[in-house]
Every structure is written in structure tokens, then in C-alpha cells.
Amino acid sequence: MTSFFLLIFVKKKAMINAVRNTILAILNKNNYGYISPSDFNLFAKQAQLDIFDEYFIAYNNQINKENGRVSGTGYADIKKGYEEVIDTFSVTSSLSQSAGNQYIVPTPATTGSDYYLLNKLLIYSSITSSGVTTAIGGGNTNLIDNTATFQTDGVSAGDVVSVVLSNPVVANLTVVSVTNQTTLVVNFASLTTTSVPYTIYKKVNLKNEAEQVTHSKITMLTKSMLTAPNITFPAYTQEGGILTLHPDSISAIGRVVCQYIRYPKDPKWTYVSLTGGEPIFSQSQSDYQDFELPPDDVNNLVARILQYAGMSIREIATVQFGQSIEQQENQEQ
Amino acid sequence: MAYLSQYQYYENAGTAPTDKNWGSYQYVGLEDIVNNFQLMYSGNHSLVNNEERFKILFHAKRGIQELNYDAFMEIKALELTVYDNLTFVLPSDYVNWIRISLYKDGWLRPLNENIQVNSAQSYLQGAGGTLTFNADGTVITNTSTLDTERKNGQQNSIYLNQNNAVDQVEDDNASDFYSDYSIGARYGLNTETANVNPTFRIDKKAGVINFDSTMLNENCILEYISDGMEGGDDSQVSVNKLFEDYVYAYIEYAILNSKFNVQEYIINRARKRKTALLRNAKIRLSNIHPGRLLMNLRGQNKWIK
């Protein structure tokens, strides 16, 4: 059960403002001090990351409780709640190819966000067709390749066309219809230039999951007749920001699709102007970003931000107050 | 793998080869086995947890290999003609042989494995028996006299076929010369060698079956077993559905048995389950049913005159 006054003014659409107001109310009440919007944003980011990280630990603890048969089902299924929160940060995206069988881990430049955890890598088991576009047409919805044999290859409506329109982002288009052996119509008017490499896949072939293996294992694994990675049971290793897929034949645009858990976006409390020395909250600013954690984490956020703010203004009572709220939250869990 | 429509089953949905899916319903693929095991027998609340997929894959394949050796009764057959070198190269998926036969005149004639060696390696020898070596220190080899004479038809056979030293009848076509002589008259026939068919011997390391010269230009049929690994194409590896549960039990047992800190009673339970399921599957696969037994039992009241 959440405690006292904190949730009264909380709305999901502007949770950050409610949290900030609460923080300021607590700080001002005892004349502890004031934190600026930029400081608040820094503390808010840190607090959100702390809580986000703890979700995974809490999830694991909950599984241990289930294994110990001290957890319930239905509304008592705490694990399900954790899964739901974690899944709100789930992203599925095609990985950009670096070279050959090497693909780039999710980054803001390639998939739009950094990854916290690579949950699974799926590989298309086969390529239906591939090539390079030779012309444009149909209001940029035609994929034209004079050397292609789309009908012979079995390309059909609904197939996925992976292309790199803006390096290094992989875009996935959908085949709307197959005009003839050399021309396809796709669902998005994006093919504005020629010489665009493309690869076409059947959706049903996105079924083979690559297993992450350590560098200490991969050599032995590939040497073994029984366990050598193949298209049916592929594997990958990670080195820096590069994922190396095994077998080497996994080397086509869009062939590797990653489902990962991204980091929460940095919260940003934005304002428009100062009125009486006070910034007025505005969530219509382009860089506005609310917390991405669920509303029931408001108490945790307040507690953690208070601790950071207390440290900042060298007020130990504020830190202790934040810690006491956090302990209370933990006990309730 | 999804269920097939009847059109997909009978005609592979119109794509060649149209017979691709015939009989496929008897089997469950390796992909399904590993997937189902991870889904049903591995996880937070299961005995098996936090195991890498390659371990599950390894044990699944080992289980399938074992089944192929002695339980599946899935015998492959390959026919090849034996040419001048009198060898039959073992198939790429060969593990062990069941029967080797000569197919001639419409008859399948099972061949006997020669109890005597019929092929040997030979080192090139100089005067006084000295060996000669390559620059890298390996000895220079030569074709052995044994091999040369076997291929030339000069090697005598202890079997009662055309290479037998006693067989001197010029027009002997059916190799029934032994009935013309008093072979076995005093001490009885040596039944081990009493066979007119060509003989063979398998050189496992060389990967060939060596025949005697009477097999020249004849059709040989090798019945053999494989390990079911389908040349490394995991998408083609499959198990008869009767053994599906056994394979899950085998994987579970193999993992638990090699895992630290698993209680012995849990390992024993897994072992017993695995063994019982194998026994059940073998009984099922043996197809013992009343109709078949009846045919055999009908002979029990036959009058022996």
C-alpha cells in the first residue's frame, strides 16, 4: 500500500511534475533548500536508473520465492507485475550489419535506443530473395531490380523487405504485391534512390534463436560435430559493440532481429518561463520526458531523489528521510 | 513445426519434390525436441535450469544417436557395383553394417564376412629388408602382395567358392564343386566356411569393404545403420514419435547426472523414467500384435512326419 500524500496529485502523463513538486514540498517545508531543474533532472535520471536496475533483482528474488513456494497466483502474482514493467522497455528491431557475420548491438544510432539486456536474437532461417535496386518508380513504393526473379523465388505479399535507407539503420518494409519478376510494391514510399541493397524474408522463417556463448566456449563449440552452430541452432559472441554470428553464413541485411530491454529515457522536467523567480512546468516542450516507470514507483523515486538532493545540499536529515521511505517501500514488498 | 494440410502432405503444396512430406507425421524434428525441452522441462521451476542450449542440443543428439544404433530399426540400404579395385566405399553416414548381399539373377544372396584378413598395408623394402623413408620421416608404403593377388583372383579362399583351391572344375558355374569331392566326408563340413558366395571384409579405418575377386562387376547391397545425424543438417534430424518422451527423459537425465549438487534420488528417478520410457517405446515399435502372432502360432500344430 502506498503511503500518505504522495500519490494524491500523481498522474501518469506528468509524473515527473508530481515527483518534483513533492520533492520541493519536502525540502521547502523544513527550509532544507532548493534544487534547480537541471539538478532535479540529474537526480531524477539517477533515481530512475536505480529503480529500473532493481526491477531485475526484484524479479529474480520473486522467482526464488516462487521456487520456495512462498508466492501466490492471480492477484498475488508479483512476478507478473515485474514482467509487465520490464516488458514496457522491450524493443524488437533488426540489427545493423557491420561486416559479414558481424552486427552492431542496439544503439541510438541504429535501433533508436541503448540496450540494457539483449534478451534474444532471432535469425531468419532462409533468405527468399536478395539483390540491389536498379530503378525507382510507383511513387517510391516500387522495388525494382532488373536482375531479380521475385516470382520464381516465391516472394509474396506480406514478406519482409529489409533495406538500409539511411546508414546504418535497417528498415523493414512489407511486400504489398508482386508485380512481375523484377518489380515489387512495398507498403512505404521510401525507395527514393537506386542501388539500395535489399533482402527479402518470409515472416514464418524468423524462428531460429541464436544462443549467446562465451568466448571461452565458442572455439570448442564450433569444433564439435554435435554442437557446431548452424542455421537451425545459431550462436553469437559479443566483443565490444559487435555481435559475431555463427555460422558465418548469417551475413545479410536484416537477417538478425534482436529483442532487447532498453534503458529508460532520461527524464526531463521542462519549463517555459520564470514567474516570480519560479519556472513554470510545461510538458509541451520538445525535450520533455516523463518518467517511464509505473506510477507506483513514485514513492521510490521521491525517496531516492531526496537522498541525492540531501547529499547535494549536505542535509543529512533529508537523506535519512529518503532512506526511511525507501525502507518502508522495501518492507511492503 | 506446424501441422501440415493434406495438400502439403501429399503434394508438398505443389512444389518439388512432391513426396517430401510423405510419412513425416511419424517423426518429430530435433528442432522441436530442443524447443519443447526448453519450454517444458527447463526453467525456473524445473529440475533443469540455467543450462545452455548447446548442452541440451548435445544430449538430444547423443540420445538420438543411441536410439539409431539399437532401437529405431531404421536400416538404410545402398546398392553399388563392385569394380576392379574390389572395394565398396562405405557411405558417408555409415556407422555399422547389418548385412551385405550380392544381388544376382534376381536373388539376394547374403555374403559372409571373411574370417581371414584380405587386405594389408605394405612398406617398401630394400635389399635385406631395409625400409625407405620420405624426407619428413614417414615410411614409404607399397601395395601389398595380399591386395594385388586378391584383386587378380590369385588369393585362395577357405570358403567353398570359386577361389577355393579345391575348385578345379573348369565349367563350374554354380560353385557346386564341393559336391564333386569328398569335402567334409570324414570330419564333417566346416559350416563356418561352407558358403559359395563371395566374401568380404570391412576395413573400418580405410572406410571400405574389400571383396574377393568373385565379386568383380557384381551388384552389392549394403544394409547399414547410421547415427541419424543426417550429415550435420540439424533441420533434417528427427525421431520417431514413439521415442519422443524418451528423448526428453534422456536429456533430463544426462543433464542432472552431470550436474553438481543434484540429489541422488532425483538422478535415480530420472534414470528410471528414462529406462522405462525406452522399454515402452521399444515394445511399441516392435509392433507385436495379435494378427502377426497368430500367423506364427498357426505353425505349432503342424504334424512333423
Whether residue A191 contacts residue A183, with contact meaning beta carbons closer than 8 Å, is answered with no
Of B44, B45, B61, the CB nearest to A226: B61
Q: Cβ(B85)–Cβ(B216) under 8 Å?
A: no
Query: What grid cell was written down for B272?
Result: 528410471
Reported as a single tens digit per residue, the pLDDT across B198-213 is 999 999 999 999 999 9
Confidence of residue A333 (pLDDT cuts 50, 70, 90): low
Tell me the shortest Cα–Cα distance from B2 to chain A, in angstroms.
11
Percent of chain B with pLDDT over 70: 93
Could you tell me which residue, B254 or A13, shows the higher pLDDT?
B254
Nearest partner of B59 among A248, A207, A224, judged by Cα = A224
In degrees and rounded to multiples of 5, residue B184 shows phi and psi of 80, 5
Query: Residue A9's pLDDT band (boundaries 50, 70, 90)?
Result: very low
Chain A partners within 8 Å of B31 (Cβ): 232-233
pLDDT band for position A198 (cuts 50, 70, 90):
very high
pLDDT at residue B168 tops 80: no
Shortest Cα–Cα distance, B53 to chain A (Å): 7
> Tens digits of per-residue pLDDT, A227-251?
999 999 999 999 999 999 999 999 9
> Is the pLDDT score of B173 beyond 60?
no
Calculate the average pLDDT of chain B.
90
Q: For residue B61, what pLDDT is reported?
A: 96
Axis-axis angle for helices A316-332, A15-29 (nearest 10): 130
Lowest-pLDDT range of B41-45, B90-94, B272-276:
B41-45
Find the farthest-apart pair of alpha carbons in chain B and give their distance in angstroms, rounded: 79
The model's pLDDT over B12-34, given as tens digits with 9 standing for 90+, comes to 999 899 999 999 999 999 999 99
Residue of B nearest to A213 (CA): B52
Cell numbers placing A297? 514507483
Q: Is any Cβ of chain B less than 8 angstroms from the Cβ of A225?
A: yes
Q: B61 contacts in A (CB within 8 Å)?
A: 226
Burial of A168 (C-beta count, 10 Å sphere; 0-12/13-18/19+) = middle
Q: Which helix (H) or strand (E) holds A183?
A: strand A183-186
Query: What's the confidence (pLDDT) of residue B298?
Result: 82
Q: Tell if the CB–CB gap between B54 and A227 is shorter than 8 Å.
A: yes
Q: Residues A124-141: what's their mean pLDDT?
A: 94
Contact criterion met (CB < 8 Å) for A213 and B52: yes
Structure ipTM: 0.84
Q: What's the pLDDT at B9?
A: 94
Query: What pLDDT shows up at residue B193?
Result: 87
Q: What is the rounded distance in angstroms from the CA atom of residue A325 to the CA atom of residue A316?
A: 14
CA nearest B144: which of B128, B114, B124?
Answer: B124
CB pair distance less than 8 Å for A232 and B235: yes
What is the pLDDT at residue B177?
Answer: 58
Q: Which of the four pLDDT bands, split at 50, 70 and 90, describes residue A278?
A: confident
| Crossing angle between the packed helical segments A298-312 and A15-29, to the nearest 10 degrees | 50
- pLDDT (0 to 100) of residue A3: 44
- Looking at the predicted structure, is the pLDDT value of residue A18 above 70? yes
- Which residues in chain A have their CB less than 8 angstroms from residue B251's CB? none
What is the pLDDT averaged over residues B171-192?
66
pTM of the model: 0.86
d(CA A283, CA A271): 7
The pLDDT-based confidence of B189 (bands split at 50, 70, 90) is confident
CB atoms within 10 A of CB A323: 15
Residue of higher predicted confidence among A89 and A303: A89
Burial of B303 (0-12, 13-18, 19+ CB in 10 A): exposed
Query: Closest-CA residue in chain B for A222?
Result: B54
pLDDT band of A14, cuts 50, 70, 90: confident
The answer to whether B54 contacts A230, with C-beta atoms less than 8 Å apart, is no
Nearest CA in chain B to A67: B45
**Which band of pLDDT confidence, cut at 50, 70 and 90, is reported for residue A2?**
very low
Cell of B134: 620420405
Binned at pLDDT 50, 70 and 90, residue A6 comes out as very low
Q: Do B44 and A67 touch (CB under 8 A)?
A: yes
The whole-number average pLDDT for the span B166-188 is 62
What is d(CA B185, CA A36) in angstroms, rounded to the nearest whole number? 117
Helix, coil or strand: residue A279: strand
Computed over every residue of chain A, the mean pLDDT equals 89
Inter-chain residue contact B58 with A232, CB threshold 8 Å: no
What pLDDT is attached to residue A72? Answer: 87
Q: Chain B: nearest CA to A162, how far in angstroms?
A: 25
Q: How far is B79 from chain A (nearest CA, A)?
A: 28
Q: What is the pLDDT of residues B231-287, one digit of tens each?
A: 889 999 999 999 999 999 999 999 999 999 999 999 999 999 999 999 999 998 888
Per-residue confidence (pLDDT) for residue B251, from 0 to 100: 97
State residue A234's pLDDT score: 96
Residue B86: other Cβ atoms inside 10 A: 23
